[in-house]
């Protein structure tokens, strides 16, 4: 039986990429230490700053909120109910249970209060892929809720970051590449965004959540079926299995070279949205335009009928 | 039965990435047209220039020599006998047979005449991976033989280029990335290097070689077993199978952005090798240093004994 490299007791967790065997207690210490190192290295936040942690009810975001709170950061959770049937119901339950058990405040907002419907219906009406509509809405709402905070933290882990990077590189999305970083500085009303889990794997966040007794929703969002990110994760895992350490190397190597993708002239000019005041590249921001569009459709007969049939 | 998109006769070749069915004759025309388009687009060569085509005895390089000759380019083949046992014997046979049948001159040089031994033994002595020693030697010898030519052509196909690119990106080898291009301009004694097959797949070069009656060595070099490039090719094929057109998109997208990897200050200063006069970044070039080292070892007892035991 393998022994914990730190204390010599029986090991339960094996981190193959680091060739490290650990007991539960030392894994938790090691995990928290590495996340804190990431926070410091990328100057994500200090213990004086207020962090809004976006939670979905899944393992990564709840584990992140728990970890930051445990390490003494000033945190508050934020959950957006996207109105995705049973999935949203279950995840809201997990979020509420977590909040009560851990005594951590989690603010909750509902897409139905904003648009009168969930993200699935919205994306059908505007005929755009659900995941891109959902992403845009969440980015906006996270930022809006974070106005009195110093940073927005999300639970993106190493596997998420590497899958995104992989897709962006395969398609040479240089604009996205120039912005893919564990810490994206804010300006004016656009809040700083941080990803403290960017260098810990999905296996590690799941293990941490399990050991720390976090009850989370295991189901994937039903809209993510067939998502490219899931396909890319599989490919990256195939490579990692053959060549240990590829994920970390790929992401770290990229971050050392990321600046080559941001040419000085490429920064889009941003100005306040004429409706809501948030920074946008057009006259009216995407969120306000979406709201206008949904309201127009709801006002018309066809739209109303369509919605009533849902 | 599918019909040829050009002439309507029964189709035999299906190019899935282009969703195109063709008969043999129209595939050959289409293939040659596309390769010629690459030659022109990247200003690889004109019909007034002399091209040295490096051949290995495999499908790609022999097909390239055949195609360039058929299209009226001024070509000459060049084969380096690497002294890799049966593999080199068989490939030399294929090269000689091709030269006789197609009436195309192929110059032949032998590593044994240079070093007194094959590449396998050399790499053992210098304790460097065979493929990197082999690559260095071939680059030098190709260039030396090409002194009276305008360009060196190699048979690298789309799959080769994409696998190389994939590896270079996973490890963010920016120096290699800055030089990965279908045409690398020459300077002084360093000859221009061209890859006219960079945008046609391995499946297509094999089909072309087969239809054009080229007899080539099918075996892979025994030293390539377990090579990362083969692993990467498999991964890239997995992605291509799911997302048609990925290979072309990945390579083309990269080439549009390649310049970001070549910072103005990064160009290594080159000066003539004190032994042979070719451009190098050190006093004496790698090839001359290798020769010196091998000669020293051959002169000593241990070296001689080691070699006699081979």
DSSP H or E run through B269? none
**A151 near A44, Cβ under 8 Å?**
yes
3-state secondary structure labels for all residues of B32-45: HHHHHHHHHHCCCC
**d(C-alpha A72, C-alpha A80), whole Å:** 25
What is the per-residue pLDDT for A147? 94
Any A CB within 8 A of B249 CB: yes
**Which of A176, A167, A177 lies closest to A233 in space, CA to CA?**
A167
Any A CB within 8 A of B244 CB: no
What is the per-residue pLDDT for B288? 95
Q: Are A171 and B253 inside 8 Å of each other by CB?
A: yes
Distances (CA, A) of A88 to A53, A91, A154, A218: 18, 5, 18, 12
What is the per-residue pLDDT for A188? 85
Q: Which residues of B192-223 are buried (b: 16+ CB within 10 A; e: fewer)?
A: bbbbbbbbbbbbbbbbbbebbebebbeeebeb
Q: Are A174 and B260 inside 8 Å of each other by CB?
A: yes
Check pLDDT > 60 for residue B152: yes
**d(C-alpha B128, C-alpha B302), whole Å:** 19
What is the per-residue pLDDT for B309? 33
Q: Which residues of A touch B242 (CB under 8 A)?
A: 231
Using a 10 angstrom Cβ sphere, with 0-12 exposed, 13-18 middle and 19 or more buried, the burial of residue A297 is middle
- pLDDT single digits (tens) A218-274: 998 999 888 899 999 999 999 999 999 999 999 999 999 999 998 766 567 889 999
- pLDDT single digits (tens) B18-35: 889 999 999 999 999 999
CA geometry: angle A111, A117, A123, nearest 5 deg: 95
Bridge partners (DSSP) listed for residue A275: none
**Which of B267, B100, B105 lies closest to B178 in space, CA to CA?**
B267
What is the per-residue pLDDT for B266? 55
**d(C-alpha A116, C-alpha A133), whole Å:** 15
Chain B nearest C-alpha distance from A59 (Å): 28
Q: Are A170 and B246 inside 8 Å of each other by CB?
A: yes
What is the per-residue pLDDT for B226? 80
Any A CB within 8 A of B256 CB: yes
Q: Looking at the partner chain, which of B174, B235, B249 has a beta carbon nearest the beta carbon of A239?
A: B235
State whether ipTM is beyond 0.95: no
**Which of A253, A243, A218, A168 lies closest to A62 in space, CA to CA?**
A218
Structural Rg of chain B based on CA atoms: 20
**d(C-alpha A267, C-alpha A279), whole Å:** 13
Any A CB within 8 A of B278 CB: no
Chain B nearest C-alpha distance from A167 (Å): 10
What is the per-residue pLDDT for A265? 61
Q: Are B249 and A171 inside 8 Å of each other by CB?
A: yes
Q: Which residues of A touch B169 (CB under 8 A)?
A: 169
Distances (CA, A) of B4 to B1, B14, B206: 10, 9, 19
Q: How far is CA A145 from the centre of its chain?
A: 15
Any A CB within 8 A of B230 CB: no
pLDDT: is B16 or A148 the higher one? A148
Going by pLDDT thresholds of 50, 70 and 90, the confidence category of residue B304 is: very low
Q: Looking at the partner chain, which of A171, A228, A250 has a beta carbon nearest the beta carbon of B170?
A: A250
Any B CB within 8 A of A115 CB: no
Going by pLDDT thresholds of 50, 70 and 90, the confidence category of residue B310 is: very low
Q: Are B260 and A261 inside 8 Å of each other by CB?
A: yes
pLDDT: is B250 or A18 the higher one? B250
- pLDDT single digits (tens) B272-303: 999 999 899 899 999 999 999 998 887 654 33
Any B CB within 8 A of A287 CB: no
Any B CB within 8 A of A259 CB: no
What is the per-residue pLDDT for A266? 55
Other beta carbons within 10 angstroms of residue A162's beta carbon come to 26
Sheet with A183-184, side-by-side order of all strands: A106-110, A74-81, A50-54, A151-153, A192-194, A183-184
Average of per-residue pLDDT values in chain A: 92
Q: Looking at the partner chain, which of A171, A238, A257 has a beta carbon nearest the beta carbon of B172?
A: A257
What is the per-residue pLDDT for A309? 33
- pLDDT single digits (tens) A289-309: 999 999 888 765 433 332 333
Any B CB within 8 A of A246 CB: yes
**B280 near B286, Cβ under 8 Å?**
yes
* Chain B residue whose CA is closest to A168: B250
Q: Looking at the partner chain, which of A174, A231, A261 has a beta carbon nearest the beta carbon of B242?
A: A231
**By three-state DSSP, how is residue A58 classified?**
coil
Share of chain A above pLDDT 90, in %: 86
Check pLDDT > 50 for residue B101: yes
pTM: 0.89
Any A CB within 8 A of B254 CB: yes
Check pLDDT > 50 for residue B243: yes
Q: Are B172 and A253 inside 8 Å of each other by CB?
A: yes
The residue written with tokens 């094959």 in the block is B118
- pLDDT single digits (tens) B42-82: 999 999 999 999 999 999 999 999 999 999 999 999 999 99
What is the per-residue pLDDT for B19? 87
Average of per-residue pLDDT values in chain B: 92
Check pLDDT > 50 for residue A201: yes
Interface test with A, best of B165, B167, B168, B172 (most A CBs within 10 A): B172
Q: Are A170 and B242 inside 8 Å of each other by CB?
A: no
Chain A nearest C-alpha distance from B223 (Å): 19
Check pLDDT > 90 for residue B263: no
What is the mean predicted confidence (pLDDT) over B77-92? 96
- pLDDT single digits (tens) A100-156: 999 999 999 999 999 999 999 999 999 999 999 999 999 999 999 999 999 999 999
Q: Indicate the Cα dihedral angle B119, B122, B126, B129, nearest 10°.
A: 20
């Amino acid at each position: 039986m393998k022994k914990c490299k730190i204390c010599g007791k029986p090991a339960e967790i094996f981190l193959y990429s680091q060739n490290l065997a650990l007991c539960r207690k030392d894994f938790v210490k090691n995990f928290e230490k590495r996340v804190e190192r990431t926070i410091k290295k990328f100057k994500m936040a200090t213990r004086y700053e207020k962090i809004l942690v976006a939670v979905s009810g899944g393992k990564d975001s709840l584990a992140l909120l728990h970890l930051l709170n445990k390490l003494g950061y000033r945190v508050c959770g934020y959950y957006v109910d996207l109105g995705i049937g049973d999935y949203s119901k279950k995840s809201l339950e997990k979020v509420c249970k977590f909040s009560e058990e851990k005594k951590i405040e989690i603010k909750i907002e509902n897409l139905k209060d904003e648009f009168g419907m969930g993200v699935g219906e919205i994306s059908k009406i505007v005929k755009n892929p659900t995941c891109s509509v959902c992403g845009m809405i969440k980015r906006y709402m996270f930022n809006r809720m974070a106005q009195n905070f110093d940073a927005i933290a999300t639970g993106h882990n190493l596997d998420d970051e590497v899958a995104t990077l992989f897709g962006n590189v395969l398609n040479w999305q240089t604009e996205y590449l120039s912005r893919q970083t564990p810490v994206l500085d804010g300006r004016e009303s656009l809040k700083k965004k941080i990803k403290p889990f960017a260098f810990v794997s999905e296996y590690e966040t799941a293990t941490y959540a399990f050991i720390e007794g976090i009850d989370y929703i295991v189901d994937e969002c039903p809209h993510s079926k067939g998502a490219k990110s899931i396909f890319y994760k599989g490919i990256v895992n195939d490579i990692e299995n053959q060549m240990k350490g590829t994920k970390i190397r790929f992401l770290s190597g990229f971050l050392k070279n990321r600046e080559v993708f941001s040419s000085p002239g490429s920064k889009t000019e941003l100005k306040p949205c004429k409706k809501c005041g948030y920074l946008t590249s057009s006259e009216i921001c995407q969120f306000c335009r979406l709201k206008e569009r949904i309201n127009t459709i709801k006002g018309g007969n066809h739209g109303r009928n369509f919605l009533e049939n849902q």
